[in-house]
Amino acid sequence: MPAACNFIDAAHRFPLLSRLLRTSRLTPLQLRQSHACMLKTGLHLLPFPVSKLLAAASSLAEPAYARSIFDCIASPCLLRHTAVLRSLSSSPGARSVADAIALFRSLHASPGLALNQFVFIPTLKVLAQGLRLQLGRQLHALALKLGFLLYVNVRNALIHLYCRCGRVSDDGLHLFDEMPLRNDRVISLGKDQLSPLTLMAILFLLPPIALPATFDVINYGAIGDGKTDDSQAFLRAWAAVCKDASATPSVLNIGFKTFLINAVLNFMGPCKPSSITVQITGVIVAPGDLRAWRGNNENWLIFSSVNGLTLAGTGIIDGKGQAWWDKCRSGCILGPAQVLMNGCNNLVVKGLKLVNSQRSHLAITNCNDVLLSQLTITSPGDSPNTDGIDVSNSRRIRIEWSTIATGDDCIAINRGTYQINITGIACGPGHGISIGSLGKDKSSSEEVTDVIVRQCNFTRTTNGARIKTWQGGVGFASRIIFEDINFISTRNPIIIDQTYYDMPYGYYKNVLGAVKVTGVTYQRMHGTSPDPVAVTLTCSPLAPCSGIVMKEVMIRRDDGGATSSSCSNALGSIGKECEPKVNCLTTTS
């Protein structure tokens, strides 16, 4: 019978194939008989029956047999990879662990196949059985980068891994603390590794299980055709969410459509639910015509005084900024910030794509305890004033595992910001990660302290690790660490500029005073720059930079040549293996 035969006809001739169609529950003998029937009829060349066969092998915990079927497939798809991984996860043993690792690596390296959450779950289960903690942590990092920690089953699988590997008290509980919804299923994963006292404490803190109240913007009049203004429908839906007292948490759903928001929208709090999740899987677009703004050009989407807020999903927020950029190039009327978070504590923004902002893409101000993760923020490299993330007057901020490519700072850390950790940012094009500018408002002190920037990549940015303060400013920037940074053709990889100004040259020349810069460490920073000067420390004679530490800094020219350094009024120390040598830094004992 030819490979393209009618599957139904074959099922009539071979009852076992009919059973395989209806269910994956076969005995080992029936599995092999079904496979023989498929080989005889040519059905082993068709995708659907092979997938059913793999599912049957997985349910029987026959990993070797499932792998033999898989290896004979000319073009294995994601579904078949997952089926084999499930089979391996059902059959513990060193061979299963090795096979699962090899299969996952081959899948990850396949250019035509994209990982999904269903691949992670059985792979993590296999690693848990083999107590492979380090590999599990690598998958944890990859899941975080790809946004799969939004799925509760992936988190559960990771917690299970950490529990099996004896890490429930730190890694497992850390994941648990970040979960928006907690239940007894998650608690039970680590019950055998926790002391009775710790378990009782966690159970005491565990809130009652409650299904979230869900509000959909479509039910409040949103059209979602990309042409009709859905602003009022969004506000009606928000009012319902914010006033809801029937369940905690609450969810506002913005689904798989394109919603035009033709006006400034202020989602105001405080709200009754202790937490609100805005789930965005669709597209939110701004008007492209400047006349639609009617002079309201300070902010576009505003969330004010909403504690326990989460913005998450795979959706897109598109600012349609081209008209604003064109206007700025001929007179510079600044456009609105795309998304502003003002006075929102315990804030999470995850997984979203923010594109083509009119000005800043995401502004955080007066917020405490913030997590920004797995974001993609993009605008053309020549788009003016399009900062990726602006932070000001906020404390305890984490920004991690995001891609930012804009026409201005990837991240700008402004006045009044304390305890900010930035990890795993891919920055470029753009102006780098900047502390400041500080000191423009000379009537008050502008301060930033306790900053850590680590594991970031800068690609063809105009600056790398940057600190900029205005001439004549008041305040300080202190306790700052840049570490484990990679530069790819980055201009000004390391730069402190205490004489910053964006006025005509000489406007602030010879002014008195400067923002104090102290306690800045640069360590394990490597890469290339098109500039001959890789380290620039331009500090004020009125307030010299102090406590500058350079360790394991290795930056060469793009063509492989050596780089140099330039310093003025900079005091500190130089560790081993620094290139350039930074001999211009005045060393202190």
User: Residue 449: phi, psi to the nearest 5?
Assistant: -150, 155
Do β-strands 564-568 and 225-229 pair in parallel, antiparallel, or remain unpaired? unpaired
User: Residue 356: phi, psi to the nearest 5?
Assistant: 50, 50
Active-site residue set: 431
Cα torsion 534, 392, 239, 213 to 10°: value is: 60
Closest CA to 487 of 564, 409, 425: 425
Query: What number of helices (H) and strands (E) belong to the chain?
Result: 15, 32
Closest CA to 366 of 427, 454, 457, 303: 303
Q: What distance, in Å, lies between the first and last C-alpha atoms of the chain?
A: 86
Burial 407-436 (b: 16+ CB within 10 A, else e): bbbbbbbbbbbbbbebbbbbbbbbbbbbbb
| Whole-angstrom distance, CA of residue 393 vs CA of residue 415 | 6
Number of neighbouring beta carbons within 10 Å of residue 209: 10
Assess contact for 477 and 467: CB atoms under 8 A.
Answer: yes
Question: Which tokens in the block code for residue 90?
Answer: 């059902």
| Whole-angstrom distance, CA of residue 93 vs CA of residue 88 | 9
| Whole-angstrom distance, CA of residue 135 vs CA of residue 361 | 35
Contacts of 453 (CB under 8 A, 6+ apart): 422, 425, 433, 465, 480, 481, 482, 483, 485
| Whole-angstrom distance, CA of residue 165 vs CA of residue 103 | 22
| Whole-angstrom distance, CA of residue 283 vs CA of residue 105 | 33
User: Residue 283: phi, psi to the nearest 5?
Assistant: -120, 130
